[in-house]
Structure 1
Amino acid sequence: MRIEIWADVVCAWAYIGKRRLERALPGRSGTEVVWRPFRIDPTAPARAVPLEEALRDPLMDEALRACAPGLSPARNRARISRVAAREGLGPPWGSRWRVSSHGAHRLIALAYEHGGPSVQGAVAEGVMRANFVEGLDIGDRAVLGEVAAAAGFPLGAELLDGEAGEVLVRELLLRGKARGVRTSPTIVVGGRALAGAQPPEAIADFLRGGERERPVPAEVERMRWAESLMDQRDPLGALVMLRPLLEEFGEDRGVRLLAARACFASAQLNRARAALESLVGEFPGDLCVRRLYGRALERQGRDEEARPHLRLAAAADG
């Protein structure tokens, strides 16, 4: 069974959730734990800012209050510290920096690609320990390099110096969005998700249900992700998901139509029109294709060409 943890390494609950998952796992053989990226603070700077300084920003304060309704940021941080202590984390405890977690996510994703789940788990542990226990700046490449080396992934520092993992992490973030991940951490097994750092007993109950999941073909899963992103009004993200399918299944009607829809929704009208023109020629009776083709022509100011397609689709509706 594969367990995916979608989490942000700057989220204290992710580290707490890791400890609780570890307590829920003993005795389970054949289980693979994979870490996936999530962003709780997409606007965090690439260069670290002392957290105490960042907390004086009214917008940051407002965002933190929204995360824990009814508690001030200071009281919420004290509460999390107590919970972390019960899980054996700290003291000391608490991040000292506000910084983008993008580099850390790259390192964690690359650790899985090059070393598998055990190396990745060691890197994820090292990154969160550096952030929450040692108070280090995990936006610093030198810090991440030391974490990687200590976790048995010495290649990590060299990979981070280049562009390795950039495309991978950005696609993984889109996958999480497509799958409906909204909370750090979220445990996903197959098509089921458990949000938040739940108690070990709740995690164990959730995992028992995962053993009955049937695997879905990769191409079907990717198509579903693309459709989900379209439903969330992210056509550019949908096109990223569709790129491998267009390369491998470029003649498939459903793939081509979804790509055309995404092009239309992202105002790539020339691409949309060309794709739809081809589909209309091959499937003249598909009124959904005709309607979208007519709309693409219409938005390009080609009303005379659009009119017969729109009329045919409207007549069928009527």
Structure 2
Amino acid sequence: MRVEVYFDILCPWCYIGKRRLATALAGRDDVDLVWRSMELDPDGSPTAGPTAAEVIAQYQSGPEQAAARVRQIQSLGEAEGVRLDLHKARPVNSFDAHRLVHLGAAHGRADEVLERLLHGYHTEGLDIAAPEVLEKLGVEAGLDPVAVRRVVEGTEFTEHVRADERRAVEAGVRGVPSLVVDGGVPASAVQSPEALARLLTPRSRG
């Protein structure tokens, strides 16, 4: 079974979904899991601006609603063992971080690189657009320092990210995190582990 998951490091739901998917896939050895890049804001600034909580507030009807939404997201993260510091994380352009995940995939460490980036951004509030931060996180995720520096300082894996984003359009993916099972219809990856486990069985897919 091939499971493609479209993600962006900036999305707290992607961190939650990643943990839920891991629970759903526990003990499975018949799944080829592929992480696919999909930028939430391709035109995002490489310079950090407002916090994630402040960005969320822009889409709420008032301060109380914004605070409740932040608490909801953080609570769901805590239930999955993830601390989402939305008052520390500051959205930036995630393109280079996506390229780093593709470097990880080339060496069989996409999951480890993505996990380190998600934790660095959402929990530690690190600037994942900063070259020195990407170098640090890539090495900590087990990648070769020379290879990491080459990617961070160059344009390697640019086409891989663009190809994933074209693939998302062709597959009908509208948001992240979304998963596509064996080329089927996109589904939300933020469902409960139980719902994901049902989705990822041949019987449930008809």
- TM-score scaled to structure 2, two decimals? 0.87
Q: 2:69 aligns with which of 76, 80, 83?
A: 76
Residues 173-193 of structure 1: per-residue CA shift (max 9 Å, x gap):
111111111121001111222
Structure 1 residues 1-318: aligned runs within 5 Å = 1-51=1-51, 55=55, 62=58, 64-65=59-60, 72-90=65-83, 93-94=85-86, 95-113=88-106, 115-116=107-108, 119-154=109-144, 155-192=147-184, 193-209=186-202
Residues 89-138 of structure 1: per-residue CA shift (max 9 Å, x gap):
12x6235212011111111112212x02xx11000000000011111111
Per the alignment, residue 260 of structure 1 pairs with: none
Q: 8 Å contact 1:183–1:196 — kept in the other structure?
A: no
* Higher CA-based Rg: 1
What SS does the aligned partner of 1:178 have?
helix
What SS does the aligned partner of 2:114 have?
helix
Per the alignment, residue 280 of structure 1 pairs with: none
**How many residue pairs align between the two structures?**
200
Q: Percent identity?
A: 32
- Deviation at 1:73? 3.1
Larger helix proportion of the pair: 1
Supply the distance in 2 between the matched residues of 1:210 and 1:123 (Cα, whole angstroms): 32
RCO higher in 1 or 2 (8 Å CA, sep ≥ 6)? 2
Q: 8 Å contact 2:99–2:158 — kept in the other structure?
A: yes
Q: 8 Å contact 1:190–1:210 — kept in the other structure?
A: no
Residues 40-82 of structure 1: per-residue CA shift (max 9 Å, x gap):
2233212222427964xxxx755x349xxxx833321111001
- Deviation at 1:86? 0.8
Structure 1 segments (4+ residues) deviating >3 Å: 52-55, 210-213
- TM-score scaled to structure 1, two decimals? 0.58
What SS does the aligned partner of 1:188 have?
strand
Supply the distance in 1 between the matched residues of 2:80 and 2:57 (Cα, whole angstroms): 27
